[in-house]
Every structure is written in structure tokens, then in C-alpha cells.
Amino acid sequence: MISPALLNVDALSLVFKTRSGPVHTLDRVALAINGGEMLGLVGESGSGKSVTAYAVMDLLDDSATITNGRILYRGADLLADAREGKPSLRGKAISMIFQNPRAALNPIRPVGKQIADVLRAHRNMSATAAQAEAVRILMAVKIPDPQRRARSYPFELSGGMCQRVMIALALACEPDLLIADEPTTGLDVTTQAVIMDLLKGLARERGMATVFITHDLSLAAEYCDQIVVMHAGQIVECAPTEALFSEPRHPYTRKLIAATPQSDSEIQTIATVPGGLPDLSRVDLPHCRYSARCEMYEKACDSAPLPLRAVGAGHTVSCWRVK
């Protein structure tokens, strides 16, 4: 009997209520990740990557309604648990790193105390033990002079240092699953590499699964074991990283790869993805939300909802035209 994935998002659909009407943000999103893996969730800004993460973390506001699907952690339905009032696994077994670390940190509390707060809330530590453990965790994420930095406020730290503190906060309770939402945004290239090496190393040490949300395909290619491509709230392709780049099957995936700059690229040779994301508040959204941008489009493409179909080992595509 095959054991279930650590995290399995199954046919998740989500609608936001707005003054101008409902916005159909996610449509039958499906992905799975096992312990020790790093999964890259990629796509343009506005494709639904962060909303998917917030749904997993139960961080959506009251305007959001999950209309379909399940979020399974070790086979248990987190959505059902929330309805039944069961204790949440978020923050302990499942943690998240947010896009803007300086904004996510409390500006008027030393970073060591912020980590200690998490430890006291989830690991039932005394104040003294939690503070000592906070220093140890800062050391684990390679912050120099951790005892002194534990007394620092976020404004006293660089962007890269703040991101390491966010990683320390997320790892304080030794989670099995880490969601990293654009963890390198706003960082220079050298610092990006340091942060990604740190995340990959810590995940390997702890056997921790990591969902890496990014619009940077080159970063995902370098660090991820598998990649899930999103477009306008739909999953269009999932594959092991090598298979995705050697044989991309969905037309959107091919366009994204062509639009990814290489080290020897000249600006005039970089391709673009024509068109834009559809208006998700439309009442007549097509079954394939990429159809208006797709050179392979035929009327039959919108005849029925698109399933994710297997086209290779661990490789699935949501497209009627791909055989």
C-alpha cells in the first residue's frame, strides 16, 4: 500500500467575494509533495500561487470561500478539522516564510523575543529556555553573533538578515512542511543564493518538505525536485524538474521557459508571453483560462473542464491538445 503524500491539495477551488461580484481565484488546484522534497510552484504574478499557500495555512480573510476540494496533511483533511474545531497544525507542523520579511516581523520587538514567543506558544517552554533556544536557532540559520543579533530590532538588520530571522521563526517548531513564499524577493543575486542554499541545506538535514513559491524559473530549476506551473488559478503542468525543462508539454510552460533569461541572453532575444491573465470576475470564464493566449487553441478546447492527464512518469498536463 502506497503511503499518502505529506501534503495533498486536491481539486481546490476558491472564490473571493468583492463589491463588484465574485472572483474565481482558484480552479481545481491539485498538487502533492512528499517529505524531503522541494516543490517549485511557479507562474506569473496573479496566477494564484500565494493564495494557494494562504489556503493551506488557513490565512485567508472572510471574503474568501473554498467552494470545492480538500487539503490533506498526512491523509487528514485540514479543512474538515477546522470546521470541527480540532487543533490547527499550522505554525507547528506546517510553517510559512512570507514575501516581505521586514514587514512580517514586529518592528518594536527584538527578533530573539519574537522567536521565543513562537517557542513558548507551540513548545511550552519557559521564558529563559525559549530565549536560549532562539539564540541556538539563529545560529542554525547562520546569523553571525546570534546572541547580539537576538537583541536587535528588524530595522537594525539587512534584508538578507531579516529573511534569515523569518526562516528561524518558521523553523522554530521543527515543522515537517515549510512554505516559502517568494523568499528571495528584493534580495541581491548573491544573497538570493545564500538564502536558497540555506533552505535547501536545512530541508535536507531535517527531511523537511518545502513548497517554494516563485516566478523565477531559473531559481526553481536549480533547487527544486519537481515543479508545478500555475496560470490564472489553474494548474497547467506538473513534472520532475529535469523532465519539465527537457520536454515541456503545455504551451504556457514552453512560453515561460522561453521567456526566462539565460546568463548569455541579450535583451532583444528574450521572448515574452503574449496577452495577459483573464479577468477572473467574468461569469463566462472558459474552461481553459489560457485559451485566449494560446496559439494551439481550438473551439473544442472549451468543451469541458480540463483534467490533469499523465504524459510521462510523474508528469501531468492540463491541455486537450497535448497527447
State the DSSP string of 133-161: HHHHHHHHTT-SSHHHHTT--GGGS-HHH
Task: Please choose, from the candidates 31, 36, 40, the residue with its C-alpha nearest in 3D space to the C-alpha of residue 7.
Answer: 31
Q: How confident is the model at residue 124 (pLDDT cuts 50, 70, 90)?
A: confident
Instruction: Give me the pLDDT at residue 320, please.
Output: 87
Each residue of 163-181: pLDDT tens digit?
999 999 998 888 999 999 9
Q: Which CATH class is domain 7-93+173-317?
A: alpha beta
C-alpha 270/C-alpha 71 separation (Å) is 38
* Count of CA atoms in the C-beta half-sphere (13 A) of 22: 13
Task: Please choose, from the candidates 313, 305, 314, the residue with its C-alpha nearest in 3D space to the C-alpha of residue 285.
Answer: 305
For residue 265, pLDDT over 60 is answered with no
β-pairing verdict for 21-33 and 7-18:
antiparallel
State the DSSP string of 260-305: S--TT--GGG-----S----TT-TT--SSTTGGG-TT--GGGGSSP
Mean pLDDT, the chain, integer: 89
If you count them, how many residues does the chain have?
323
Instruction: Give me the pLDDT at residue 37, please.
Output: 93
Instruction: Give me the pLDDT at residue 263, please.
Output: 60
Each residue of 278-302: pLDDT tens digit?
999 998 899 999 999 988 888 888 8
Q: How confident is the model at residue 1 (pLDDT cuts 50, 70, 90)?
A: very low
Show me where the domains of the chain are located: 7-93+173-317
Percent of the chain exceeding pLDDT 90 equals 59
C-alpha 194/C-alpha 226 separation (Å) is 21
Q: How confident is the model at residue 87 (pLDDT cuts 50, 70, 90)?
A: low
